[in-house]
A and B are shown apart, each in its own frame.
Chain A
Amino acid sequence: MSRPTGKPSLPSDSVSVPGARRPSRFGRRTLRGPQPVAFLYLLPAFAFFTAFALVPLVQTFILSLHEWNGITDRTFIGLDNYASVFTDAKIREALQHSLVLIFFYAVLPISLALLIVGLMVRVRVRGQAWFRAVLFVPTILPLTVVAVAWRWIYAPDGPLNRGLDLIGLDAVSRAWLGDFTFALPSLGLVGTWVTFGLVFVLFVAGVQKIPNDLYEAAKIDGANPFREFLAVTLPALRGEITVALVVTITAALRNFDVVFVTTRGGPGTSTEVPSVFIYRSVFQTREVGLGAAIGVVLMIELLLVNVAVLWYRRRGEDVS
């Protein structure tokens, strides 16, 4: 063992980290619990967090209990806005669409990336760094740019339809973003394209940390590639998968740019998502309270999903 891996599967004392044997004075002090002065160091960060996260959050919640057009006095209406969020068919539809987007933003790219990473463990690909860089490009592009590009790709006489026509699939080609059935999946695939690079790079980095011994051991035990993937690669990537899930699910639920630039929720209401609804409520129909309520519900939904992911991961760790 030449370098530390930090994998939970390896007992930590088998790893020789320089300086790790001798606990520092700081380390010893931590064991006795934090000194009061430590809180002072947290103060700047906490002040920022309060000013830019906590206060707006509380304000949003207070707004969500009011009816307000943004100009005249607001009226307290209790939980009426929340009742609207859950009873208004259009808002419910938008929340459902965001669940569909979770499939395209999170489930699909993670599955794809796992599949490819699983294959790459066996085959050494030349020019990996180059591939990684290229695949990462969508992640660093501004989403509005991505959306404009895909609007062109999906256009009735855009490259996608021309390609389909070329290979004789004229029957399939259509105005993808104007089609009531295909608009939402089409937007979803844009999300897949965007998040795949990040997820893939994350997994490749994770796989490289897996010691070769484990794969050799699996081979000696006669594991086929599939078993090897399940027994070695997948468990070792658990941490990366969790991070990927949290990041991509968040991206799916707060998706605004792509929808706003391409379809604005149309055709009809077929690509309506909560964040576009928030925009409309606040800036178009001037129901600031309703917009705030949707925002709060969206935040709670995000929190719940991510807590579930983290809880599932912790449970998995306990089992192993």
Chain B
Amino acid sequence: MRITNWRLRLGRTLAVLVALTLVVAACGDDDSDEADGTGGEASSGEIQTDGFEDLGDVTLSVLAEAGDETTLARAKELFEEQYPNVTVEVTLRAFDDYMQIAPGILQSDDPPDIAHGNQGYTIDGLLVQGDLIIPLDDYAEVYGWEDAFGSGTLDQYRFNDEGTDFGNGRLWGVSAVAEFVGVYYNKEKLAAIGGELPTTFEEFEGLLADAAAAGEVPIQLGNAEGWPALHVYGMVQAAYRPAPEIRDWVFGEPGSTVVTDEELQAAETMVAWTENGYFPEGVNGIASDDSVAAFINGDGVFMIAGNWNTATLEEGMGDNVGYFAMPVGPSGVLGGTAALALPWHITSKSEHPDLGAAFIALMMDPSFAPELAELGRVPAQEVTVEIDGLLADVAAGANQVIEADGITLYADWTTDTMFNTLTAKTQELLGGQIDAAQYLDDVQADWEAFFAE
């Protein structure tokens, strides 16, 4: 389960200046993509990838989370141009609403042909368990998705056929959009404290101290919802612990634990930052939207947040805002909270799975990546895209993390209760209710309880 509004998408950014290459390297174990060949709904053998003109008048119904509105509008335009006999019918729902109703709609007698899911047990696991979606391995092979991404990157869309083992087994969804948490900074404020862009985590901490000494709010943060500080923790965690270990924990690999020295250092860093006044006072009582507004109004040197804030920040701050990936820390791996966007699924009851796959393939195609960038989204595959402004910073930062194999995914995917556990415990950690060791014990207790079953 993910959060309220972190998927608010980026707005429009003009595609003019900086050329940039995004290379999605393998992220995660490369051996985890073996299909086990059981179960049978997968379309076999002859997959139709073109020539849908012969279908006659057909409607392809799409159920999507509202953040994809502009992307879908563009894709629909292109697809209907290619196949005038096809009507793409899009239904959109806001994130919270979507996650509540989507499983029910997919289970109904007349589900859409393709629909969004969400990584982890609460949505994707449930859809697989209920046989509501079909595996996409054959389509991935035909359309070459694995090659474009590196198979490990797509592990976040894998489940065994029972929907009980996340990160392993067949591929059930895909998306071509990347979503990253990184560090936004106020250029004037950073210059005023005499700071330059940090190249190590230690330098970053030094800047925080300088900012505090100068009477600034070092890191703008509003944690009323519990998840914003979780994203900050994700960055500190990656500074101390190599990303592959963190991913193992998220995927529930046996023996994984957060009760380690590195995690303890990370959690204690969060406590120290709180005690040093690096976050605003009353951080647990500030709504995340309000903290973004405060940052735009010049309150805060840095803000650690997701790239879905890019358009809002650029609109509010113009050239005064920049972005960088959290610089490398003691872990030696440049990394942080990041993942691919909500997966596209093909429903089991769809009468035109090949047509649905073709529509998804259009959005996955490298030729669509410039469209994504123009819509303010970060394309997640090996393509050359021309973009400018803040989005160029964001894409460059994302690129660094991907190249370093530093994507740590979202910790709240780990178990069906982990979102609630992490949000509550992170608030307690920042509120001084529990210490760093207790925090890690409590989080691990949720993990153990889930994987003991």
Binding site for B on A (CB under 8 A): 69-72, 151, 154-156, 174-180, 183, 263-269, 280, 283-286
Contacts and interface: CB of A to CB of B under 8 A. Distances in A.
Given A71-B126, A263-B224, A268-B433, 13 more contacts: A174-B282, A175-B285, A176-B285, A177-B285, A180-B433, A266-B224, A266-B226, A267-B224, A267-B431, A268-B424, A268-B425, A284-B1, A286-B416
B28 interface: no
B104 A155 contact: no
24 contacts: A71-B129, A71-B130, A71-B132, A155-B287, A156-B285, A175-B284, A178-B224, A178-B282, A179-B282, A179-B285, A183-B285, A264-B226, A265-B424, A266-B423, A267-B226, A267-B284, A267-B424, A267-B428, A268-B424, A283-B100, A284-B1, A284-B420, A285-B416, A285-B420
A156 B286 contact: yes
Interface of B: 1, 99-100, 103-104, 107, 122, 126-127, 129-130, 132, 223-226, 280-287, 290, 416-417, 419-420, 423-425, 427-428, 431, 433
Which 10 pairs of residues, A with B, have the shortest CB-CB distance?
A178-B285, A175-B285, A175-B282, A178-B284, A71-B130, A267-B427, A268-B428, A267-B284, A156-B282, A283-B100
Contacts of A154: 285
B286 A155 contact: yes
A28 B111 CA distance: 61
A83 to B, nearest CB: 16
Given A69-B126, A151-B287, A155-B290, A268 B281 contact: no
A266 B419 contact: no
Contacts of B431: 178-180, 267-268
Looking at A70, A71, A72, A176, the one whose CB has the most chain B CB atoms below 10 A away is: A71
A178 B286 contact: yes
A151 B224 CA distance: 11
A124 to B, nearest CB: 43
Contacts, number: 95
Contacts of B428: 180, 267-268
B103 A266 contact: no
Given A69-B126, A284-B122, A285-B417, A156 B280 contact: yes
A126 to B, nearest CB: 41
A132 B86 CA distance: 62
Contacts of B129: 69, 71-72
A267 B431 CA distance: 8
Nearest to A176: B285
Given A175-B281, A178-B286, A268-B427, A70 B1 contact: no
A70 B424 contact: no
A162 B82 CA distance: 60
Nearest to B129: A72
A3 to B, nearest CB: 54
B416 A156 contact: no
